[in-house]
Amino acid sequence: MQSFEKHRGIIATLDRANVDTDQIIPKQFLKSIARTGFGEALFCDWKYAADGSLDASFELNADRFRGASILIARNNFGCGSSREHAVWAVAQAGFRAVIAPRIEHEDGSVKAFADIFQNNASKNGLVTVELSESEVNEIFNTVTTTPGLEATVDLVTQQVTLHTHEPVIYNFDFDPAIKENILLGRDDIGQTLEHESTITAYEDRIGETTD
């Protein structure tokens, strides 16, 4: 997978919560047996009008977001199906990081990203940044009032920087195990197979297959 230490680029807003994987990549694109070619299909049902032209009312089609490589959205991004195609589409459309808010309420917190999406992102070097609701609101406001705004996501220092006149910095938490893999662009399977003797010992212990 592609490694990631630090990335600077245009930040684009998607002002929607619960963006589900059926929207990120509609099912007609799931029929491919390849791992590439999904970028064009990102948010396809929102992006294009019925005649195939770009739908001007969809915010990511705005000129100011052309070439954007950091996406910020609302809570529960990537909910729905387990399709890794959703992560491939986001990454292949040129995004290196997605930011979303964790929501705190009296019974605990609601995570910014759906579990499987976040897991899949971690296998593809797409960085998922969780910030607080107020920080995300603030970034939304700044992006809206600052055309062409760039941001930097730094995984080493775990910081998002908005390159406004006076740079603004937000710190984020990140799972240390995933961090290391993404920093090094490391393949999971190879690593796991280093423990093959332990897997074999486990299999010997539980006996042959259950059937």
- Residues that bind another protein in the complex, under the rule CB under 8 A: 15-18, 20, 22-23, 26-28, 30-35, 45, 74-76, 79-85, 87, 103, 107-108, 110-111, 114-116, 119-120, 123-124, 175-177, 180, 188-189, 192-193, 195-196, 198-199, 202-203, 206, 209-211
What is the closest distance, in whole angstroms, from the C-beta atom of residue 147 to another protein in the complex? 22
Nearer of residues 5 and 167 to another protein, judged by Cβ: 5
End-to-end CA distance of the chain: 36
Phi, psi angles (nearest 5°) of residue 51: -85, 5
| DSSP code at position 28 | G
Which residue in 74, 16, 3 sits closest to 46, CA to CA? Answer: 16
What is the closest distance, in whole angstroms, from the C-beta atom of residue 137 to another protein in the complex? 11
Helix intervals (H) in the chain: 21-24, 44-47, 85-92, 115-122, 133-145, 176-184, 188-193, 196-206
Nearer of residues 10 and 135 to another protein, judged by Cβ: 135
Which residue in 75, 134, 121, 141 sits closest to 102, CA to CA? Answer: 75
Nearer of residues 122 and 152 to another protein, judged by Cβ: 122
What is the closest distance, in whole angstroms, from the C-beta atom of residue 157 to another protein in the complex? 19
What is the closest distance, in whole angstroms, from the C-beta atom of residue 182 to another protein in the complex? 12
Nearer of residues 83 and 96 to another protein, judged by Cβ: 83
What is the closest distance, in whole angstroms, from the C-beta atom of residue 141 to another protein in the complex? 15
Nearer of residues 120 and 152 to another protein, judged by Cβ: 120
